[in-house]
Amino acid sequence: MSNERIITLTTDFGYKDPFVGEMKGVILSINPSVKLVDITHGIKPHSIEEGAFIIASSYKYFPPNTIHIVVVDPGVGSERRPIIVEADNHYFVGPDNGIFSYMVSFAEKSKVFHIKEKKYMLSEYSPTFQGRDIFAPVAAWLSKGIALEEFGYSIDDFKKIKIPLPEIEGNRISGEIIYIDRFGNAISNIKGTDLYALGEKFLVEIKGMVIQTVKNYSQASNKSLYCLINSSGHLEFFVNMDSASKLFNINKSEKVTALKQTK
């Protein structure tokens, strides 16, 4: 297997501190041929749900055999396990805290390994920075072709967080906002495929308002709230050139309803 593998990094570390750079240094010290890609280091601090949504939305755009390090880890240094997940011809390295729940839930098949082999770690004892001391070196050794079984043993009791899925009852879909992006757009767990199942005409409601549906941002010409199906297939609420979240006080977990229009 070629050593020219891709390793992505997704964390809540930001860029003020040297954490991301140190992880990259560890990886490149083990495999200088690897290609490093930052997905984001702007996950809301300690938000496992946000990290889970982002990696599940992003990994599919990378080539098969890409290795994804995902570290949003409020339980760092505790008894929670470090794991490797193999799913849909991709590999995921990170903490066993539910961060891979979205991805595993929608993957066709997956295998999970508890990382135990010390020789692939910088240090087994790492009370505050297992991203550097465990996950980075493990991903680097994995990129050099080390077999999954060499890192530890298979488990089936890995942690999953509850995935907020829309509820569909007859002509009604009940969902919620699951992510607010940098522009203040509010993304729901209702997908376009869910809406089109209602028929050609439907109404979308949030915060007691019926929201006009458009096809792109430019069709919204004022500071009103609109919605559309975004490029990831999710129902998204937005204000053109402004923040829907701030202007309309739309936050994560806000309830969203879609109804079939009968007239």
What tens digit of pLDDT does each residue of 146-162 get?
999 999 999 999 999 99
Say how far apart CA 125 and CA 248 lie, in whole Å.
46
Say how far apart CA 139 and CA 144 lie, in whole Å.
9
**pLDDT tens per residue, range 47-74:** 999 999 999 999 999 999 999 999 999 9
Query: In terms of residues, how long is the chain?
Result: 263
For 150, residues 6+ apart whose C-beta sits below 8 A from its C-beta are 117, 120
Sheet holding 90-95, edge to edge: 35-40, 6-11, 67-71, 90-95, 82-87, 110-115, 152-155
Domains along the chain with CATH numbers: 6-155 (3.40.50.10790), 167-260 (2.40.30.90)
- Number of Cβ atoms within 10 Å of the Cβ of 82: 23
Strands (E), the chain: 6-11, 35-40, 67-71, 82-87, 90-95, 110-115, 152-155, 167-169, 172-180, 186-191, 202-206, 209-213, 226-229, 234-238, 255-260
Q: Tell me, what's the pLDDT at 124? A: 85
pTM value is 0.93
Compute CA distances 98 → 60, 65, 104, 136, whole Å: 19, 22, 10, 19
Alpha helices in 14-78 (DSSP H): 19-30, 48-58
DSSP H or E stretch at residue 193? helix 192-196
**pLDDT tens per residue, range 195-236:** 988 888 899 999 999 999 999 999 998 899 999 999 999 999
**pLDDT tens per residue, range 173-194:** 999 999 999 999 999 999 999 9
